[in-house]
Structure 1
Protein backbone atom coordinates (compact mmCIF):
# COMPACT_ATOMS: atom_id res chain seq x y z
CA UNK A 1 0.00 0.00 0.00
CA UNK A 2 1.23 3.50 -0.85
CA UNK A 3 2.34 5.41 2.25
CA UNK A 4 1.61 9.08 2.84
CA UNK A 5 5.21 9.92 1.92
CA UNK A 6 4.87 8.31 -1.50
CA UNK A 7 3.20 9.38 -4.72
CA UNK A 8 2.70 6.66 -7.32
CA UNK A 9 1.83 7.57 -10.90
CA UNK A 10 0.63 4.95 -13.39
CA UNK A 11 0.22 5.40 -17.13
CA UNK A 12 -3.02 4.10 -18.60
CA UNK A 13 -2.11 5.07 -22.15
CA UNK A 14 -2.84 8.23 -24.16
CA UNK A 15 -3.02 11.08 -21.60
CA UNK A 16 -4.62 8.89 -18.94
CA UNK A 17 -2.86 8.94 -15.56
CA UNK A 18 -3.61 7.54 -12.15
CA UNK A 19 -2.05 9.29 -9.16
CA UNK A 20 -2.22 7.63 -5.74
CA UNK A 21 -0.94 9.06 -2.47
CA UNK A 22 -2.08 8.83 1.13
CA UNK A 23 -5.06 6.71 0.19
CA UNK A 24 -6.32 9.28 -2.33
CA UNK A 25 -6.64 8.71 -6.08
CA UNK A 26 -6.62 11.34 -8.80
CA UNK A 27 -7.30 10.47 -12.44
CA UNK A 28 -6.25 12.65 -15.35
CA UNK A 29 -8.10 12.14 -18.66
CA UNK A 30 -8.98 8.53 -17.77
CA UNK A 31 -9.78 6.93 -21.14
CA UNK A 32 -9.00 3.22 -21.47
CA UNK A 33 -11.62 2.05 -24.00
CA UNK A 34 -9.12 2.58 -26.85
CA UNK A 35 -11.33 1.78 -29.85
CA UNK A 36 -10.05 2.22 -33.44
CA UNK A 37 -11.21 5.29 -35.39
CA UNK A 38 -10.02 4.41 -38.90
CA UNK A 39 -12.50 4.10 -41.73
CA UNK A 40 -12.31 1.64 -44.62
CA UNK A 41 -9.95 4.02 -46.39
CA UNK A 42 -7.50 3.84 -43.49
CA UNK A 43 -8.07 7.48 -42.54
CA UNK A 44 -9.45 8.92 -39.33
CA UNK A 45 -13.24 8.68 -39.33
CA UNK A 46 -14.90 11.46 -37.31
CA UNK A 47 -18.19 9.56 -37.48
CA UNK A 48 -16.81 6.64 -35.47
CA UNK A 49 -19.44 5.72 -32.85
CA UNK A 50 -18.59 6.50 -29.25
CA UNK A 51 -18.38 3.48 -26.99
CA UNK A 52 -17.24 2.62 -23.49
CA UNK A 53 -15.43 -0.64 -22.79
CA UNK A 54 -16.84 -1.12 -19.30
CA UNK A 55 -14.82 -4.30 -18.78
CA UNK A 56 -11.57 -2.42 -19.47
CA UNK A 57 -12.59 0.46 -17.22
CA UNK A 58 -13.51 -1.87 -14.39
CA UNK A 59 -10.19 -3.69 -14.80
CA UNK A 60 -7.92 -0.63 -14.90
CA UNK A 61 -9.76 2.00 -12.82
CA UNK A 62 -9.78 1.09 -9.15
CA UNK A 63 -11.62 4.06 -7.72
CA UNK A 64 -11.09 7.81 -7.76
CA UNK A 65 -11.56 10.87 -5.57
CA UNK A 66 -10.99 13.50 -8.26
CA UNK A 67 -11.05 13.38 -12.07
CA UNK A 68 -9.25 16.11 -14.03
CA UNK A 69 -10.23 16.79 -17.64
CA UNK A 70 -7.73 18.63 -19.83
CA UNK A 71 -10.16 18.82 -22.78
CA UNK A 72 -13.19 16.93 -23.96
CA UNK A 73 -12.07 15.02 -27.04
CA UNK A 74 -13.16 11.38 -27.04
CA UNK A 75 -9.69 10.04 -26.16
CA UNK A 76 -9.63 12.16 -23.01
CA UNK A 77 -13.21 12.26 -21.74
CA UNK A 78 -15.09 9.40 -23.40
CA UNK A 79 -14.98 7.12 -20.34
CA UNK A 80 -15.53 9.82 -17.70
CA UNK A 81 -19.34 9.54 -17.37
CA UNK A 82 -19.08 5.83 -16.55
CA UNK A 83 -16.10 6.38 -14.24
CA UNK A 84 -17.87 9.20 -12.42
CA UNK A 85 -20.90 7.03 -11.73
CA UNK A 86 -18.76 4.12 -10.57
CA UNK A 87 -16.51 6.17 -8.26
CA UNK A 88 -18.59 9.21 -7.21
CA UNK A 89 -15.47 11.30 -7.86
CA UNK A 90 -15.48 15.08 -8.24
CA UNK A 91 -14.94 15.97 -11.92
CA UNK A 92 -13.17 19.22 -12.86
CA UNK A 93 -13.62 20.72 -16.32
CA UNK A 94 -14.73 23.74 -18.33
CA UNK A 95 -18.34 24.72 -19.03
CA UNK A 96 -18.21 22.82 -22.33
CA UNK A 97 -16.68 19.71 -20.77
CA UNK A 98 -19.38 19.64 -18.12
CA UNK A 99 -22.21 20.29 -20.56
CA UNK A 100 -21.07 17.32 -22.62
CA UNK A 101 -20.86 15.21 -19.46
CA UNK A 102 -24.38 16.28 -18.52
CA UNK A 103 -25.54 15.14 -21.97
CA UNK A 104 -23.98 11.75 -21.17
CA UNK A 105 -25.87 11.51 -17.85
CA UNK A 106 -23.00 12.30 -15.49
CA UNK A 107 -24.38 13.11 -12.00
CA UNK A 108 -24.71 16.89 -11.67
CA UNK A 109 -23.62 16.99 -8.04
CA UNK A 110 -20.16 15.67 -9.00
CA UNK A 111 -19.38 18.36 -11.57
CA UNK A 112 -17.06 21.29 -10.70
CA UNK A 113 -16.66 23.98 -13.36
CA UNK A 114 -13.21 25.55 -13.72
CA UNK A 115 -11.53 27.69 -16.33
CA UNK A 116 -8.06 28.50 -15.05
CA UNK A 117 -6.96 30.42 -11.99
CA UNK A 118 -8.58 28.17 -9.42
CA UNK A 119 -6.59 26.78 -6.49
CA UNK A 120 -8.59 24.21 -4.52
CA UNK A 121 -7.80 22.41 -1.29
CA UNK A 122 -8.82 18.75 -1.26
CA UNK A 123 -8.28 16.17 1.46
CA UNK A 124 -4.51 15.73 1.43
CA UNK A 125 -3.70 17.61 -1.77
CA UNK A 126 -4.26 20.82 -3.72
CA UNK A 127 -5.15 21.32 -7.37
CA UNK A 128 -4.32 24.50 -9.26
CA UNK A 129 -5.91 25.02 -12.67
CA UNK A 130 -4.32 26.81 -15.64
CA UNK A 131 -5.88 27.80 -18.95
CA UNK A 132 -4.22 26.27 -21.99
CA UNK A 133 -4.82 25.90 -25.74
CA UNK A 134 -5.25 22.69 -27.69
CA UNK A 135 -2.59 21.87 -30.26
CA UNK A 136 -3.14 22.73 -33.91
CA UNK A 137 -2.00 21.08 -37.13
CA UNK A 138 -1.03 21.94 -40.66
CA UNK A 139 -0.37 25.11 -42.59
CA UNK A 140 -3.56 26.78 -41.45
CA UNK A 141 -3.18 25.81 -37.77
CA UNK A 142 -6.51 24.01 -37.62
CA UNK A 143 -7.85 22.45 -34.44
CA UNK A 144 -9.67 19.12 -34.31
CA UNK A 145 -13.32 19.43 -33.24
CA UNK A 146 -12.93 22.96 -31.88
CA UNK A 147 -15.78 24.87 -30.31
CA UNK A 148 -17.61 25.50 -27.06
CA UNK A 149 -21.06 24.83 -25.66
CA UNK A 150 -23.01 27.10 -23.35
CA UNK A 151 -25.95 24.70 -23.13
CA UNK A 152 -26.35 20.96 -22.76
CA UNK A 153 -26.41 19.41 -26.27
CA UNK A 154 -28.07 16.26 -27.50
CA UNK A 155 -26.35 13.14 -26.29
CA UNK A 156 -23.04 12.70 -28.18
CA UNK A 157 -22.94 9.51 -30.25
CA UNK A 158 -19.89 10.03 -32.49
CA UNK A 159 -16.31 11.04 -31.76
CA UNK A 160 -16.80 14.35 -33.60
CA UNK A 161 -19.52 15.33 -31.11
CA UNK A 162 -17.01 15.62 -28.27
CA UNK A 163 -15.65 19.10 -28.94
CA UNK A 164 -12.35 20.29 -27.53
CA UNK A 165 -14.23 22.77 -25.34
CA UNK A 166 -11.24 24.68 -23.98
CA UNK A 167 -8.02 23.14 -22.68
CA UNK A 168 -6.65 23.08 -19.14
CA UNK A 169 -3.46 22.16 -17.32
CA UNK A 170 -3.31 21.04 -13.70
CA UNK A 171 -0.75 21.34 -10.92
CA UNK A 172 -1.42 18.62 -8.34
CA UNK A 173 0.48 19.01 -5.06
CA UNK A 174 0.96 16.57 -2.21
CA UNK A 175 3.07 18.20 0.49
CA UNK A 176 6.34 19.29 -1.14
CA UNK A 177 5.87 17.22 -4.29
CA UNK A 178 3.92 18.60 -7.24
CA UNK A 179 2.92 17.11 -10.59
CA UNK A 180 2.19 19.36 -13.56
CA UNK A 181 -0.04 17.77 -16.21
CA UNK A 182 0.14 19.50 -19.59
CA UNK A 183 -1.87 17.79 -22.32
CA UNK A 184 -0.89 20.11 -25.17
CA UNK A 185 2.12 22.08 -26.44
CA UNK A 186 -0.18 25.11 -26.60
CA UNK A 187 0.55 26.04 -22.98
CA UNK A 188 0.37 29.67 -21.81
CA UNK A 189 3.92 30.31 -20.69
CA UNK A 190 3.28 33.69 -19.07
CA UNK A 191 0.49 32.21 -17.00
CA UNK A 192 2.53 29.31 -15.65
CA UNK A 193 5.78 31.26 -15.28
CA UNK A 194 7.14 30.76 -11.79
CA UNK A 195 5.56 27.43 -10.93
CA UNK A 196 8.10 24.86 -9.84
CA UNK A 197 6.73 21.34 -10.31
CA UNK A 198 8.65 18.29 -9.19
CA UNK A 199 7.38 16.29 -12.17
CA UNK A 200 6.46 17.66 -15.59
CA UNK A 201 4.19 15.63 -17.87
CA UNK A 202 4.55 16.89 -21.43
CA UNK A 203 3.89 15.94 -25.05
CA UNK A 204 6.48 15.46 -27.75
CA UNK A 205 8.03 17.91 -30.17
CA UNK A 206 5.76 19.66 -32.65
CA UNK A 207 6.64 21.91 -35.61
CA UNK A 208 3.82 24.37 -34.93
CA UNK A 209 5.26 25.66 -31.65
CA UNK A 210 8.69 27.33 -31.87
CA UNK A 211 11.11 26.61 -29.02
CA UNK A 212 8.37 24.61 -27.29
CA UNK A 213 10.62 22.62 -25.00
CA UNK A 214 12.91 25.53 -24.08
CA UNK A 215 9.97 27.80 -23.28
CA UNK A 216 8.32 25.10 -21.20
CA UNK A 217 11.41 24.47 -19.12
CA UNK A 218 12.13 28.15 -18.64
CA UNK A 219 8.58 28.75 -17.43
CA UNK A 220 8.59 25.80 -15.01
CA UNK A 221 12.12 26.17 -13.65
CA UNK A 222 13.67 23.05 -15.21
CA UNK A 223 11.79 20.38 -13.19
CA UNK A 224 13.80 17.47 -11.71
CA UNK A 225 11.67 14.89 -13.54
CA UNK A 226 10.00 14.77 -16.96
CA UNK A 227 7.50 12.13 -18.05
CA UNK A 228 6.28 11.98 -21.68
CA UNK A 229 2.54 11.65 -22.19
CA UNK A 230 0.11 11.12 -25.08
CA UNK A 231 2.83 9.59 -27.27
CA UNK A 232 1.44 6.13 -28.00
CA UNK A 233 -0.74 4.64 -30.72
CA UNK A 234 -3.85 5.00 -28.62
CA UNK A 235 -6.01 2.58 -30.61
CA UNK A 236 -3.62 -0.29 -29.85
CA UNK A 237 -4.52 -2.57 -26.92
CA UNK A 238 -3.51 -1.22 -23.52
CA UNK A 239 -2.00 -4.55 -22.48
CA UNK A 240 0.46 -4.44 -25.36
CA UNK A 241 3.69 -2.37 -25.28
CA UNK A 242 3.21 1.23 -26.32
CA UNK A 243 4.14 2.21 -29.88
CA UNK A 244 5.92 5.56 -30.17
CA UNK A 245 3.52 7.25 -32.55
CA UNK A 246 3.95 10.84 -31.36
CA UNK A 247 7.56 11.47 -30.51
CA UNK A 248 8.58 10.23 -27.07
CA UNK A 249 12.05 9.33 -28.35
CA UNK A 250 12.51 12.75 -29.92
CA UNK A 251 11.32 14.41 -26.73
CA UNK A 252 13.91 12.46 -24.73
CA UNK A 253 16.63 13.84 -27.01
CA UNK A 254 15.27 17.38 -26.73
CA UNK A 255 15.02 17.24 -22.95
CA UNK A 256 18.63 16.04 -22.75
CA UNK A 257 19.62 19.06 -24.81
CA UNK A 258 17.46 21.73 -23.14
CA UNK A 259 17.41 20.48 -19.53
CA UNK A 260 20.18 17.91 -19.01
CA UNK A 261 19.67 17.95 -15.23
CA UNK A 262 16.08 16.69 -15.62
CA UNK A 263 15.60 12.93 -15.32
CA UNK A 264 13.52 11.55 -18.20
CA UNK A 265 11.16 8.79 -17.04
CA UNK A 266 9.35 6.99 -19.86
CA UNK A 267 6.67 4.60 -18.67
CA UNK A 268 5.11 1.88 -20.77
CA UNK A 269 1.44 0.96 -20.69
CA UNK A 270 0.27 0.15 -17.14
CA UNK A 271 3.71 0.87 -15.68
CA UNK A 272 4.11 2.88 -12.47
CA UNK A 273 6.72 5.06 -10.84
CA UNK A 274 6.83 6.12 -7.20
CA UNK A 275 8.26 9.43 -6.00
Structure 2
Protein backbone atom coordinates (compact mmCIF):
# COMPACT_ATOMS: atom_id res chain seq x y z
CA UNK A 1 0.00 0.00 0.00
CA UNK A 2 2.81 2.39 0.88
CA UNK A 3 4.46 1.69 -2.46
CA UNK A 4 1.29 2.63 -4.34
CA UNK A 5 0.95 5.84 -2.33
CA UNK A 6 4.58 6.78 -2.97
CA UNK A 7 4.18 6.16 -6.71
CA UNK A 8 1.02 8.27 -6.72
CA UNK A 9 2.69 11.17 -4.92
CA UNK A 10 5.75 11.18 -7.20
CA UNK A 11 3.75 10.88 -10.42
CA UNK A 12 1.64 13.90 -9.45
CA UNK A 13 4.67 15.94 -10.50
CA UNK A 14 6.01 13.95 -13.46
CA UNK A 15 5.43 10.29 -14.24
CA UNK A 16 8.70 9.91 -16.13
CA UNK A 17 10.71 11.29 -13.24
CA UNK A 18 8.75 9.09 -10.84
CA UNK A 19 9.56 5.98 -12.88
CA UNK A 20 13.25 6.93 -12.91
CA UNK A 21 13.25 7.44 -9.13
CA UNK A 22 11.45 4.18 -8.39
CA UNK A 23 13.37 1.90 -10.77
CA UNK A 24 16.18 1.07 -8.30
CA UNK A 25 13.56 0.35 -5.62
CA UNK A 26 11.96 -2.24 -7.92
CA UNK A 27 15.25 -4.09 -8.22
CA UNK A 28 16.00 -3.86 -4.50
CA UNK A 29 12.48 -5.10 -3.68
CA UNK A 30 12.83 -8.09 -6.01
CA UNK A 31 16.14 -9.12 -4.48
CA UNK A 32 14.93 -8.58 -0.91
CA UNK A 33 11.75 -10.60 -1.47
CA UNK A 34 13.04 -13.49 -3.57
CA UNK A 35 16.83 -13.38 -3.42
CA UNK A 36 19.01 -15.94 -1.70
CA UNK A 37 21.14 -14.92 1.26
CA UNK A 38 24.13 -14.69 -1.08
CA UNK A 39 22.28 -12.46 -3.55
CA UNK A 40 21.03 -10.18 -0.80
CA UNK A 41 24.47 -9.85 0.77
CA UNK A 42 26.04 -9.12 -2.61
CA UNK A 43 23.64 -6.53 -3.99
CA UNK A 44 21.40 -4.99 -1.31
CA UNK A 45 24.03 -2.99 0.66
CA UNK A 46 24.52 -0.68 -2.33
CA UNK A 47 20.85 0.34 -2.15
CA UNK A 48 21.07 1.47 1.48
CA UNK A 49 23.65 4.23 1.10
CA UNK A 50 23.44 7.84 -0.04
CA UNK A 51 24.54 7.03 -3.60
CA UNK A 52 22.00 4.48 -4.79
CA UNK A 53 23.04 2.86 -8.10
CA UNK A 54 20.83 3.05 -11.16
CA UNK A 55 19.13 -0.31 -11.67
CA UNK A 56 16.18 -1.56 -13.68
CA UNK A 57 13.65 -4.37 -13.74
CA UNK A 58 13.30 -5.37 -17.40
CA UNK A 59 10.11 -7.19 -18.34
CA UNK A 60 8.92 -5.53 -21.57
CA UNK A 61 9.85 -6.62 -25.08
CA UNK A 62 9.51 -4.68 -28.36
CA UNK A 63 6.60 -6.50 -29.95
CA UNK A 64 2.84 -6.01 -30.31
CA UNK A 65 0.58 -7.34 -27.54
CA UNK A 66 3.54 -8.23 -25.34
CA UNK A 67 2.74 -10.87 -22.71
CA UNK A 68 5.22 -11.23 -19.80
CA UNK A 69 4.28 -14.90 -19.47
CA UNK A 70 5.20 -15.65 -23.10
CA UNK A 71 8.66 -14.12 -23.36
CA UNK A 72 10.86 -14.20 -26.45
CA UNK A 73 13.97 -13.49 -24.39
CA UNK A 74 15.37 -16.91 -23.55
CA UNK A 75 17.60 -18.49 -20.94
CA UNK A 76 19.21 -21.90 -21.29
CA UNK A 77 21.60 -23.92 -19.20
CA UNK A 78 25.16 -23.39 -20.34
CA UNK A 79 28.10 -24.84 -18.46
CA UNK A 80 28.02 -23.62 -14.88
CA UNK A 81 25.31 -21.04 -15.52
CA UNK A 82 22.82 -19.71 -18.05
CA UNK A 83 23.01 -18.08 -21.46
CA UNK A 84 20.56 -15.22 -22.09
CA UNK A 85 19.47 -14.02 -25.53
CA UNK A 86 16.84 -11.46 -26.45
CA UNK A 87 15.83 -7.82 -26.53
CA UNK A 88 14.14 -5.87 -23.72
CA UNK A 89 12.47 -2.51 -24.27
CA UNK A 90 11.50 0.48 -22.13
CA UNK A 91 14.40 -0.14 -19.75
CA UNK A 92 14.46 2.78 -17.30
CA UNK A 93 17.77 4.70 -17.21
CA UNK A 94 19.33 1.78 -19.02
CA UNK A 95 22.50 3.57 -20.11
CA UNK A 96 23.25 4.47 -16.48
CA UNK A 97 22.20 1.20 -14.87
CA UNK A 98 24.74 -0.92 -13.03
CA UNK A 99 22.34 -3.79 -12.46
CA UNK A 100 19.42 -5.35 -14.31
CA UNK A 101 16.83 -7.88 -13.26
CA UNK A 102 15.98 -9.50 -16.59
CA UNK A 103 12.88 -11.56 -17.35
CA UNK A 104 13.52 -14.53 -19.63
CA UNK A 105 11.89 -17.80 -20.62
CA UNK A 106 13.54 -20.86 -19.03
CA UNK A 107 12.18 -24.34 -19.74
CA UNK A 108 8.77 -22.95 -20.68
CA UNK A 109 8.44 -20.67 -17.64
CA UNK A 110 9.09 -16.96 -17.17
CA UNK A 111 11.89 -16.38 -14.67
CA UNK A 112 14.07 -13.55 -13.36
CA UNK A 113 17.85 -13.24 -13.60
CA UNK A 114 20.24 -10.77 -12.00
CA UNK A 115 22.55 -9.37 -14.68
CA UNK A 116 25.33 -6.87 -14.06
CA UNK A 117 25.71 -4.19 -16.74
CA UNK A 118 29.39 -5.02 -17.24
CA UNK A 119 28.57 -8.54 -18.42
CA UNK A 120 29.88 -9.34 -21.90
CA UNK A 121 27.22 -9.49 -24.62
CA UNK A 122 25.10 -6.58 -23.38
CA UNK A 123 24.43 -3.62 -25.67
CA UNK A 124 22.22 -0.59 -25.07
CA UNK A 125 20.54 1.94 -27.33
CA UNK A 126 18.05 4.77 -26.88
CA UNK A 127 14.41 3.69 -27.04
CA UNK A 128 12.49 6.90 -27.95
CA UNK A 129 8.90 6.87 -26.81
CA UNK A 130 5.72 8.90 -26.94
CA UNK A 131 5.76 9.52 -23.19
CA UNK A 132 7.84 8.99 -20.06
CA UNK A 133 10.62 11.02 -21.65
CA UNK A 134 12.20 11.87 -18.31
CA UNK A 135 12.70 8.15 -17.59
CA UNK A 136 15.58 7.73 -20.05
CA UNK A 137 14.04 4.66 -21.68
CA UNK A 138 16.56 2.32 -23.30
CA UNK A 139 16.57 -0.87 -25.37
CA UNK A 140 18.66 -3.69 -23.91
CA UNK A 141 20.05 -6.36 -26.22
CA UNK A 142 21.43 -9.59 -24.79
CA UNK A 143 23.59 -11.69 -27.11
CA UNK A 144 25.00 -14.88 -25.62
CA UNK A 145 25.13 -13.23 -22.20
CA UNK A 146 26.53 -15.74 -19.72
CA UNK A 147 25.54 -15.45 -16.07
CA UNK A 148 26.37 -17.83 -13.21
CA UNK A 149 23.82 -20.25 -11.81
CA UNK A 150 23.53 -17.97 -8.77
CA UNK A 151 22.00 -15.27 -11.01
CA UNK A 152 18.61 -17.03 -11.10
CA UNK A 153 16.26 -15.01 -8.88
CA UNK A 154 13.27 -16.65 -7.23
CA UNK A 155 10.80 -19.14 -8.68
CA UNK A 156 8.15 -19.08 -11.39
CA UNK A 157 5.58 -18.20 -8.71
CA UNK A 158 7.81 -15.33 -7.61
CA UNK A 159 7.84 -14.06 -11.19
CA UNK A 160 4.05 -13.97 -11.21
CA UNK A 161 4.09 -11.99 -7.96
CA UNK A 162 6.68 -9.65 -9.48
CA UNK A 163 4.40 -8.89 -12.42
CA UNK A 164 1.48 -8.17 -10.08
CA UNK A 165 3.54 -5.85 -7.89
CA UNK A 166 4.87 -4.05 -10.95
CA UNK A 167 1.39 -3.58 -12.35
CA UNK A 168 0.22 -2.13 -9.04
CA UNK A 169 3.13 0.31 -9.12
CA UNK A 170 2.08 1.47 -12.58
CA UNK A 171 -1.49 1.84 -11.31
CA UNK A 172 -0.17 4.07 -8.52
CA UNK A 173 1.67 6.18 -11.09
CA UNK A 174 -1.54 6.56 -13.08
CA UNK A 175 -3.38 7.73 -9.97
CA UNK A 176 -0.85 10.50 -9.39
CA UNK A 177 -0.85 11.75 -12.96
CA UNK A 178 -4.64 11.46 -13.16
CA UNK A 179 -4.96 13.59 -10.02
CA UNK A 180 -2.68 16.18 -11.62
CA UNK A 181 -4.97 16.28 -14.67
CA UNK A 182 -8.03 16.71 -12.46
CA UNK A 183 -6.56 19.51 -10.35
CA UNK A 184 -5.21 21.40 -13.36
CA UNK A 185 -8.33 21.18 -15.52
CA UNK A 186 -10.62 21.98 -12.60
CA UNK A 187 -8.89 25.33 -12.09
CA UNK A 188 -8.56 25.98 -15.82
CA UNK A 189 -12.28 25.69 -16.57
CA UNK A 190 -13.05 28.07 -13.70
CA UNK A 191 -10.87 30.82 -15.16
CA UNK A 192 -11.17 30.25 -18.91
CA UNK A 193 -14.05 32.35 -20.25
CA UNK A 194 -16.16 31.97 -23.37
CA UNK A 195 -19.22 34.00 -24.29
CA UNK A 196 -18.77 36.16 -21.20
CA UNK A 197 -18.65 33.43 -18.55
CA UNK A 198 -16.34 30.67 -17.27
CA UNK A 199 -16.59 27.51 -19.35
CA UNK A 200 -17.20 25.59 -16.10
CA UNK A 201 -20.75 27.00 -16.27
CA UNK A 202 -21.34 24.83 -19.33
CA UNK A 203 -22.95 21.56 -18.27
CA UNK A 204 -20.96 19.44 -20.73
CA UNK A 205 -17.69 20.82 -19.37
CA UNK A 206 -18.72 20.41 -15.72
CA UNK A 207 -19.83 16.82 -16.35
CA UNK A 208 -16.51 15.97 -18.01
CA UNK A 209 -14.55 17.25 -15.00
CA UNK A 210 -16.90 15.39 -12.64
CA UNK A 211 -16.40 12.17 -14.61
CA UNK A 212 -12.63 12.49 -14.24
CA UNK A 213 -13.08 12.75 -10.46
CA UNK A 214 -15.41 9.73 -10.40
CA UNK A 215 -13.12 7.61 -12.57
CA UNK A 216 -10.10 8.57 -10.50
CA UNK A 217 -11.81 7.53 -7.27
CA UNK A 218 -12.78 4.18 -8.77
CA UNK A 219 -9.19 3.62 -9.90
CA UNK A 220 -7.89 4.44 -6.43
CA UNK A 221 -10.31 2.18 -4.57
CA UNK A 222 -9.69 -0.93 -6.66
CA UNK A 223 -5.92 -0.37 -6.69
CA UNK A 224 -5.68 0.10 -2.93
CA UNK A 225 -7.84 -2.99 -2.38
CA UNK A 226 -5.46 -5.04 -4.53
CA UNK A 227 -2.41 -3.59 -2.76
CA UNK A 228 -3.95 -4.30 0.65
CA UNK A 229 -4.61 -7.94 -0.23
CA UNK A 230 -1.06 -8.42 -1.48
CA UNK A 231 0.30 -6.82 1.67
CA UNK A 232 -1.70 -9.29 3.76
CA UNK A 233 -0.36 -12.22 1.76
CA UNK A 234 -3.82 -13.02 0.39
CA UNK A 235 -4.28 -14.08 -3.24
CA UNK A 236 -4.84 -10.86 -5.18
CA UNK A 237 -4.67 -12.05 -8.80
CA UNK A 238 -8.28 -11.04 -9.46
CA UNK A 239 -7.96 -7.64 -7.78
CA UNK A 240 -4.72 -6.81 -9.59
CA UNK A 241 -6.32 -7.74 -12.91
CA UNK A 242 -9.33 -5.54 -12.13
CA UNK A 243 -7.05 -2.66 -11.15
CA UNK A 244 -5.00 -3.00 -14.32
CA UNK A 245 -8.09 -3.12 -16.54
CA UNK A 246 -9.78 -0.16 -14.87
CA UNK A 247 -6.67 1.98 -14.55
CA UNK A 248 -5.51 1.43 -18.13
CA UNK A 249 -8.88 2.38 -19.60
CA UNK A 250 -9.76 5.24 -17.26
CA UNK A 251 -6.19 6.52 -17.13
CA UNK A 252 -6.00 6.94 -20.89
CA UNK A 253 -9.48 8.47 -20.96
CA UNK A 254 -8.54 10.98 -18.24
CA UNK A 255 -5.51 12.03 -20.29
CA UNK A 256 -7.66 12.49 -23.40
CA UNK A 257 -10.35 14.42 -21.51
CA UNK A 258 -7.71 16.69 -19.97
CA UNK A 259 -6.51 17.71 -23.43
CA UNK A 260 -10.09 18.11 -24.62
CA UNK A 261 -11.05 20.41 -21.73
CA UNK A 262 -8.23 22.79 -22.61
CA UNK A 263 -9.17 22.84 -26.28
CA UNK A 264 -6.33 24.24 -28.40
CA UNK A 265 -4.32 24.93 -25.25
CA UNK A 266 -4.31 21.21 -24.53
CA UNK A 267 -2.32 20.59 -27.70
CA UNK A 268 0.60 22.91 -26.93
CA UNK A 269 3.49 22.48 -24.52
CA UNK A 270 2.60 25.71 -22.72
CA UNK A 271 0.29 23.56 -20.59
CA UNK A 272 1.31 20.20 -19.02
CA UNK A 273 -1.79 18.25 -20.02
CA UNK A 274 -0.28 17.14 -23.33
CA UNK A 275 2.59 15.54 -21.41
CA UNK A 276 0.20 13.87 -18.97
CA UNK A 277 -1.81 12.55 -21.92
CA UNK A 278 1.32 11.00 -23.44
CA UNK A 279 2.50 9.53 -20.14
CA UNK A 280 -0.87 7.98 -19.32
CA UNK A 281 -0.84 6.09 -22.61
CA UNK A 282 1.92 3.92 -21.15
CA UNK A 283 -0.31 2.41 -18.47
CA UNK A 284 -2.06 -0.05 -20.77
CA UNK A 285 1.21 -1.19 -22.34
CA UNK A 286 3.87 -1.57 -19.65
CA UNK A 287 4.34 -5.00 -18.05
CA UNK A 288 2.13 -6.55 -20.71
CA UNK A 289 -0.50 -5.18 -23.07
CA UNK A 290 -3.88 -4.90 -21.35
CA UNK A 291 -5.52 -6.54 -24.38
CA UNK A 292 -3.66 -9.80 -23.71
**Structure showing greater Rg:** 2
| Structure with the higher fraction of residues in helix conformation | 2
- Superposition TM-score, scaled by structure 1 size: 0.25
- Superposition TM-score, scaled by structure 2 size: 0.24
Higher relative contact order (CA 8 A, sep 6+): 2
